[in-house]
Structure 1
Amino acid sequence: MNRCTALALLPPPDRLIALSPPGHRPETAHVLCELATDHDDHHAALLWDEGGHPGSAVWVRWRGSGLARLTPLPWCPARHPRNAANEACELFSAHPSAHSWDITDPTHTAITHHLTRQHPHLFPQSGDHENDGSRS
């Protein structure tokens, strides 16, 4: 399933602006939704994690082009059912879409395919795709 392409502008918090040195105001930044395309109309992006304990991950949530809000959320407890490394879902608990291991970022995939063709020595695990009929 593809990753959602929604984005939001996230202005720096007032307290951060107040602490910044004169002439070095923090800039507004874009955040990209990390959920799969099948989610509801509330988008989400991880901003930071404060140590892995419950509620320590701070996410930004927004709806459409509306106001973004910061929300501490616990991590999703799901583990990849077919992964020997017991990979954890990288989203928040009760997220409204597929788990992170089922989400594909089409831009990341396209860049990886391009780089693999241009620099195959950097991607030895990908194998030889030149002669196997696969296309990117």
Structure 2
Amino acid sequence: MARFTGRPLGPGPQAPSTEETDVLQCTAVTPAPLDEVLVAIATLDGGLHDPPPDPALDHYLLCELGEHDSRTEHAALLRSSETPSRPALWFFWTGAGPDRVHRIGPVPWCPAVLRLLDTGSVLQCSFFDRHTASHTWDVTDPLGDLLAYGSVSDEEPKGRTQP
């Protein structure tokens, strides 16, 4: 089973951006090694308090990071911790097909926060500590947004006349 090596994953925590720098979510997908994932979840600190979801439903993992270069590992959250101060279980991979290399391990949350002065809201980055790509508030997933909220435009499509 792949184990977390504890090596740094990037240059360190990044300060929240003051500019609006939306980045599209990475589209990398990989098959999940279900036996390794279930063992990692079961052996995570605290073990299983509730059964994991049916593994047949989620046997592919989508990278949650913003678009990044090929040297950066893809990452998918497998399981949150019971409390925010405890590490979450992440799946990391590079390559594809027979060249794919992966590891599974608990990693602390990114400590970066974004304070919205006009509303008083505080957003915490929901990626792992020392990630190299943008923070979660800078990553957009247009397809996910469309699926979650439906079409948000009342405008008619441009370019072709409508029947």
- Normalising to structure 2: TM-score of the pair? 0.58
User: How many Å separate the matches in 2 of 1:46 and 1:80?
Assistant: 21
1:20 match? none
- Normalising to structure 1: TM-score of the pair? 0.69
What is the SS of the residue equivalent to 1:13? helix
By how many angstroms is 1:113 displaced? 6.6
What is the SS of the residue equivalent to 2:144? helix
Please list, as runs of the form range in 1=range in 2, the aligned pairs for 1:80-119 lying within 5 A after superposition: 80-82=114-116, 84-111=120-147, 114-116=150-152
* Off by >4 Å, runs of 4+ in structure 1: 14-17
Could you say what the CA RMSD is over the residues aligned between the two structures, in angstroms?
3.0
1:36 match? 66
Structure 2 residue runs of 5 or longer lacking an equivalent are 1-22, 40-53, 159-163
Percent identity between matched residues is 32
Greater relative contact order, per chain length (Cα 8 Å cut-off, separation 6+): 2
Please tell me the residue identity of whatever aligns with 2:83. G
Please tell me the residue identity of whatever aligns with 1:4. C
Structure 1 residue runs of 5 or longer lacking an equivalent are 18-24, 118-128
Higher helix share: 1
Please list, as runs of the form range in 1=range in 2, the aligned pairs for 1:1-136 lying within 5 A after superposition: 1-13=23-35, 16=38, 26-27=55-56, 29-39=59-69, 40-65=71-96, 66-82=100-116, 84-111=120-147, 114-116=150-152, 129-130=154-155
